[in-house]
Amino acid sequence: MDRHDLLGIGEVARRSGVSVPTVRFYEEKGLITSTRDAAGRRRFERHVLRRIAVVRAGQRFGMGLAEIGEALAGLPVDHPPTKRDWERLSRSWHAALTARIEAMERVRDGLSSCIGCGCLSLKACPVYNHDDELAAEGPGPRRWPAAARDG
């Protein structure tokens, strides 16, 4: 924990590729943490760069910040995560991502087989199929509609 390798918010922003307000926002949301120096400025440990990288990676495949936060909660906050810590997160995300990729493949294939063929029989069509709880999750944009999540 040598003082000299803590990072200022500007450097974190620059090196992680997000804006300065976004770094503050992520801290507010509990995705990252910081200490303060004598003047009240945030000081970040190096591993927040990795945490932010993980946040961005999670967003890339459609996770919300809350969900990402749960995954990050499995990592230690006080000391730099070990390789084993990261591997655990990586493994669990790998599984979730694979499931989502497969769901997308099903939608894609359903699209060609069903829309392409022109059948669209209400019962059998995977595109038409909507019998699950649609619009049953409250307002706001649907990042991953329920249908993409089921088996």
Residue 60 binds to a second copy (criterion: CB under 8 A)? yes
Residue 80 binds to a second copy (criterion: CB under 8 A)? no
In the complex with DNA, the residue whose CB is nearer, 43 or 88, is: 43
Applying CB under 8 A, which part among 4-12, 14-22, 26-34, 66-74 lies near a second copy?
14-22
CB 30 within 8 A of CB 1: no
- 3-state class percentages of the chain: helix first, strand second, coil last, to nearest 5: 55, 5, 40
Residues in the chain: 151
| Phi and psi at residue 125, to the nearest 5° | -75, 125
Residue 1 contacts which entry, DNA, a second copy, none (Cβ below 5-8 A, type-dependent): none
Among 86, 123, 124, 138, indicate the residue that binds a second copy (CB under 8 A). 86
Q: What is the DSSP string of 76-94?
A: -SSSPPPHHHHHHHHHHHH
Residue 33 contacts which entry, a second copy, DNA, none (Cβ below 5-8 A, type-dependent): none
